Amino acid sequence: MKIAFIGAGVMAEAIISGIISNGLAKPDDITASDISQIRLAELGSRYGLQTTSSNQEAVKGKDIAVLSVKPQVFKSIADDLRGRLDYEQLVLSIMAGIKIDTINMLLTHKSIVRVMPNTPAQIGEGISVWAATDSVRQPQKDVVQSVLAALGKEIYVDDEKYIDMATAISGSGPAYVFMILESLIDAGVHIGLPRQTAAELVMQTMLGSIRFAQGSGKHLAELRDMVTSPGGTTAEGLLKLEEGELRAVLTQAVVAAYEKAQSLGKE
């Protein structure tokens, strides 16, 4: 498999690392292009891949072209690549908000996969949601599935509308989790715990709770009740969370992220 990365950001590097470490492609078969020569030098040194400042050179002769640029600059990238892609080449987009129809129109290219990965992919613990056009052949889908499986779990959806929804949950979700973790650690420090101790308690509690929930087969409300004794400390803490409308605030955050993802596709 020969693959080009248009844009060399953090998520592009996560995919590159997963591809190489799982033997899906050799470093010599991977080319990255970016406006930052410093970034290209870092990736070239770290992974031994090919680098170039020319997007057109990057995609030449490749099986897959990964679009890993910011949505706001896609139009200029498309202007550069339009007419430079062979019919058989697969375009794989990880751009938030940019819809398949827009990619097709600006690139005049039909074989497109749109993916929303997330940052835990950097350690092989991510989850990616993806959709494909009818022009994408089954062998190409199999390759995409293998690439995404190297980053963690993957979910294929028949309707592209779920990609923007996934962006608001799994794409932005790590930032929500990090803020919750940070807040819990700060709260622990506030009541007198050393910061390192508070951090260890919070991290392991979050990790253990998630693994427990995944393996228990029980509804989350039932698991919460298992921890909550009538009139106890947990009940008192949960009361404050309800009074602060934690559920409503999280819902508002997800809706706001979803609406932003939709608006990116219209800009």
Distance CA 267, CA 98 (A): 9
221 is written with which tokens?
């409300």
**CA nearest neighbour of 113 among 159, 144, 75:** 144
Report pLDDT for 221.
96
127 is written with which tokens?
């989850």
Segments making up each domain of the chain, as ranges: 3-159, 173-264
Block means of pLDDT (10 residues each) for the chain, 267 residues, are 94 93 94 96 96 96 95 93 93 94 95 95 93 96 95 95 94 96 98 98 97 96 96 96 96 95 78
**Sheet arrangement for strand 3-6:** 50-52, 30-33, 3-6, 64-67, 90-93, 112-116, 126-132, 152-156
CATH of 173-264 among 3.40.228.10, 1.10.3730.10, 3.40.50.720, 2.60.120.10: 1.10.3730.10
Total-model pTM:
0.88
DSSP state, 255?
A: H
Report pLDDT for 267.
60
Report pLDDT for 24.
92
CA angle 218–219–220, rounded 5-degree value: 115
Report pLDDT for 115.
97
**CA nearest neighbour of 90 among 160, 155, 164, 4:** 4
Q: Quick one: 3-159 is in which CATH superfamily?
A: NAD(P)-binding Rossmann-like Domain (3.40.50.720)
Same fold, 3-159 and 173-264: no
DSSP state, 91?
A: E
For residue 94, which phi and psi values (nearest 5 degrees)? -115, 20
